[in-house]
Amino acid sequence: MDAADRLFPEHLAVLSRTADRALAASEGEALLIGAGQLRTQFLDDRTDPFVANPHFRHWAPILDAPGSFVLHRPGKRPTLLFHQPKDYWHKPPVLPNAPWMASFDVTVIRHPQEAQKQLPAHTVYIGDDSFKERDRWGFKSINPVATMACLHYARAVKTPYELACMREAAALGARAHRAAADALATGASEYAIHLAYLAATGLTEAELPYSNIIAANESGAVLHHTDLARVAPSPYRSLLIDAGAQVRGYASDITRTYATAAGPFQELIHSMDQLQQGLCAAVQPGVHYPDIHLQAHRQIGQLLIDHGLILCSLEQALETDLTSIFFPHGIGHLLGLQVHDIGGHQQDEQGTITPPPKNHPYLRLTRTLLPGMVVTIEPGIYFIPMLLERAKQDGRRSLIHWERIEALLPYGGVRIEDDVVATEEGADNLSRAGFSALN
């Protein structure tokens, strides 16, 4: 039995206590969480890749069990209603043989309709509309706001079991990033690097937590570049790879940027790496996450000045929002069962929302950090023609060193991202630990 398995019973106890509070908020007797159903594509019998409801995966680390449910009733053991249809077209899901199964009462169902027989009268349902029968089963409520707010707020703080899973996911992602760097050294194309990454994780594309972003040269300026080129660029200047891995449904999210030769872009990467590690160290309980984002803008502004890319004071760069031309996204987000984990703007279990700071609409997390929260820290500097053209046209033209910018445009941009846990002892960088273990 590994560390995660040993920690699972206590994880389930924490979930049960949270579920009791969430049920009380909606006056329900039981909570039924659906994994979801396969979705058939329009005018076809082909299905989209199945992704289980994260609330279902929170209870049961099963990634491929469409039609299954978890039933929680206060004071009782949770029940796993495992959907195993009789099917000769496809291989039915196999009932897991894992230590965590001992924490559940398990019932195999051949059709989702069979689950209805086990439900108390006032059952609250959590799940998407892929489960067609949900509107006909007489649920007390479906995804009630008060219940969802309670569940989403609580998900931000990870149990020791979840942290063990995420540590494994970070280590797996680091190993795959190392394989990608080795492929880059041979001059491989974006697509070939993608294949090397998949081979190192042992995962299929559908099993990744998100589509790999592998961007050579100027494509690094496209924040979510997933159109993987089959032919390597010539000349090959740079590579930005943003890719993760998944373990028991928990994600890692790691970004690295490489230059193929020494020069100003490599110097920029080095400066960004130092800046990023300083921001990672700020991930501690009691820190207001937006403060890390605003500090990132100050430090990126100074970095732009130090590298001669802008021609003004730091105060002017911040006052004119010039740093957002080069760093147009948030410093990071919650991470867990989803890459952009839910509840980032919630301030309490009742669902009170705090929006991002003015002029920073893309910041996904506005909470004060608590022990056990896992966040990404991903500062970047990009040379995005559309945003640079905006600065040319709106009065900030004289603040930018255009000759140096033109020289860096073919490199796209630099982003460095790690997954970091806020702990009582300080920041615990899961990604850096994963890379260190490879040395």
Element (H, E) at 306: helix 289-306
What value does the mean pLDDT take over residues 266-288? 98
Strands 254-259 and 374-377: what pairing?
unpaired
The CATH number covering residue 330 comes to 3.90.230.10
pLDDT, residue 144, reads 97
The verdict on 301 and 407 lying in the same domain is yes
The verdict on 190 and 147 lying in the same domain is no
* Final residue in a domain of this structure, among 127, 155, 183: 155
pLDDT, residue 61, reads 96
The verdict on 168 and 208 lying in the same domain is yes
- Calculate the CA 225 to chain-centre distance: 16
Least confident residue range of 16-30, 77-91, 170-184: 77-91
**CA Rg value for the chain:** 23
Least confident residue range of 41-55, 204-218, 323-337, 377-391: 41-55
Question: pLDDT per residue over 214-248, tens digit each?
Answer: 999 999 999 999 999 999 999 999 999 999 999 99
Alpha helices in 83-237 (DSSP H): 145-155, 160-185, 190-201
The verdict on 120 and 210 lying in the same domain is no
What value does the mean pLDDT take over residues 410-433? 98
On the question of pLDDT at 69 being above 70, the answer is yes
The CA distance from 159 to 318, in Å, is 38
What value does the mean pLDDT take over residues 284-308? 98
On the question of pLDDT at 395 being above 90, the answer is no
**Any idea of the CA torsion for 95, 98, 104, 109, to the nearest 10 degrees?**
0
The verdict on 246 and 279 lying in the same domain is yes
The verdict on 43 and 172 lying in the same domain is no
What value does the mean pLDDT take over residues 425-431? 97
pLDDT, residue 91, reads 83
What value does the mean pLDDT take over residues 4-31? 96
How many domains would you assign to the chain? 2
The verdict on 132 and 200 lying in the same domain is no
Six token digits for residue 259: 């230059």
The verdict on 82 and 209 lying in the same domain is no
pLDDT, residue 367, reads 98
Element (H, E) at 58: helix 54-59
The verdict on 141 and 191 lying in the same domain is no
The verdict on 411 and 265 lying in the same domain is yes
pLDDT, residue 106, reads 96
Measured from the Cβ of residue 301, the count of other Cβ atoms closer than 10 Å reads: 22
The verdict on 214 and 132 lying in the same domain is no
DSSP 347-398: -STT--B-PPPTT-TT----SBP-TTBEEEE--EEE--HHHHHHHHHTT-GG
pLDDT, residue 102, reads 95
Question: Residue 356: pLDDT band by 50, 70, 90 thresholds?
Answer: very high
**Quick check: 431 and 418 in contact, CB under 8 A?**
yes
* Final residue in a domain of this structure, among 97, 126, 155: 155
The CATH number covering residue 75 comes to 3.40.350.10
pLDDT, residue 288, reads 98
* Final residue in a domain of this structure, among 95, 126, 155: 155
User: Domain range for residue 114?
Assistant: 3-155
pLDDT, residue 1, reads 66
- With b for 16 or more beta-carbon neighbours within 10 A and e for fewer, the 175-205 pattern comes to bbbbbbeebbeeebbbbbbbebbbebbebee
Element (H, E) at 11: helix 3-26
Question: pLDDT per residue over 83-109, tens digit each?
Answer: 999 888 888 888 999 999 999 999 999
pLDDT, residue 80, reads 97
- Contacts of residue 42, defined as CB under 8 A and 6 or more positions apart, other chains included, come to none
Question: pLDDT per residue over 256-275, tens digit each?
Answer: 999 999 999 999 999 999 99
The verdict on 132 and 165 lying in the same domain is no
